[in-house]
Amino acid sequence: MVKNILRSRGNLSRAERSRKFWDSFMYWCFSLCGLSAIAAVCGIAAYMVLAGTPAINEIGLFHFLLGSRWEPTAPQPAFGVLPMILTSVAGTALSVLASVLVGTLTAVFLEELAPNRLRQAAQATAALMAGLPSVVYGLVGATLLVPLVGKAENALFRGSSSHIFTGGANLLSASILLTVMILPTAIQVGGISLRAVPRELREASLALGADRTETAFKVLIPAARPGIVTGAVLGTGRAMGEAMAVMMVSGNAVNFPLPFHSVRFLTTGIVTEMGYSSGLHRKALFSIGLALFVWILATDLILEALVQREGGGQSA
């Protein structure tokens, strides 16, 4: 009996040593992965600052950020990125607002009103659309969306002598395409947020006499607001960083952002000109990347603070 007790203690000690070894091993693996991710982000930030500041110092921060002319290959080059900054802000804001609004309403319909088969089919379609490459969206947009917007443009500006016709490749097409690209994410995140709302809230609202529509808009959506804002954060990140699809439908001309103007986003400006740029022109493209990096960082920090505030208010 004593031998059995000693043997069991020995087995336990070996199992304990093995568990401690694997716990320590996984701790260092996770720590290494986390530190690697932090180091990569810091390295990218440092590289963007080092590569982007020389052109800004040479051009001047005021002329670079607030200049309205981008003519890097002209006899007297101009490197003003204000039209591209305003285009990126306008296109991102329009697409995120539209996608969050439509996505939230679609999620409410699917979760609260739609039949089970329709809900499953719609959720599978949204998951499939979220995984499509952006170039596929760009190809569909260039072949289907741009001609439709071009017809609307011709009808609206028929007989105009001042309007420069774009054939449908303009800010409106780019905003619609970005909305469609963000929409699957908004639907998925909205559905998850609505499903996370406690059933007691839904039942209490119905018990007090509210119908399903009133319950959805006055109880469920306010309760799911932190998750909806998170979906807006994810959509903003995709809209800001998109280049190929936008380049195929936006016209890619440096203009101030009006719906029927051919425009160029910050991302498309880098993609379009990096292949043939040199000298100060190439440095200026890295400065555009730095401006885009700072803008995305600031936007993410603001939206993250908004998410934290929404979550804190919901908890309270």
DSSP code string of 91-138 = HHHHHHHHHHHHHHHHHHIIIIIS-HHHHHHHHHHHHHHHTS-HHHHH
Asked whether residue 228 is assigned to any structural domain, the reply reads yes
**pLDDT band (50, 70, 90) for residue 316:** very low
How far is 235 from 233, CA to CA, in rounded Å? 5
Asked whether residue 76 is assigned to any structural domain, the reply reads no
Between 243 and 35, the higher pLDDT residue: 35
Model pTM above 0.85: no
Asked whether residue 56 is assigned to any structural domain, the reply reads no
Q: Which two tokens stand for residue 3?
A: 């031998």
State residue 148's pLDDT score.
93
DSSP code string of 171-240 = HHHHHHHHHHHHHHHHHHHHHHHHHTS-HHHHHHHHHTT--HHHHIIIIIHHHTHHHHHHHHHHHHHHHH
Task: Check pLDDT > 50 for residue 157.
Answer: yes
Between 4 and 89, the higher pLDDT residue: 89
State residue 116's pLDDT score.
85
Asked whether residue 99 is assigned to any structural domain, the reply reads yes
Phi-psi region of 35 (alpha: psi -120 to 50; beta: other; left: phi over 0): alpha
State residue 35's pLDDT score.
92
State residue 6's pLDDT score.
47
State residue 9's pLDDT score.
53
- Total domains in the chain come to 1
Asked whether residue 96 is assigned to any structural domain, the reply reads yes
The whole-chain average pLDDT of the chain stands at 83
| Lowest model confidence (mean pLDDT) among 42-46, 235-239, 303-307 | 303-307
Mean pLDDT of 89-112: 88
Structural domain of 157: 81-315
State residue 147's pLDDT score.
92
How does pLDDT run across 207-248, given as a tens digit for each residue?
A: 878 777 788 888 888 888 877 887 777 777 777 778 888 888
Task: Check pLDDT > 80 for residue 306.
Answer: no
| Lowest model confidence (mean pLDDT) among 165-179, 228-242, 288-302 | 228-242
Helix (H) or strand (E) holding 308: helix 279-315
Asked whether residue 68 is assigned to any structural domain, the reply reads no
Asked whether residue 21 is assigned to any structural domain, the reply reads no
Q: If you average pLDDT over each of 88-97, 198-207, 296-305, which comes out highest?
A: 88-97
Mean pLDDT of 127-146: 87
Task: Check pLDDT > 60 for residue 1.
Answer: no
Asked whether residue 29 is assigned to any structural domain, the reply reads no
Helix (H, G, I), strand (E, B) or coil at 278: coil
State residue 168's pLDDT score.
86
CATH number at residue 174: 1.10.3720.10
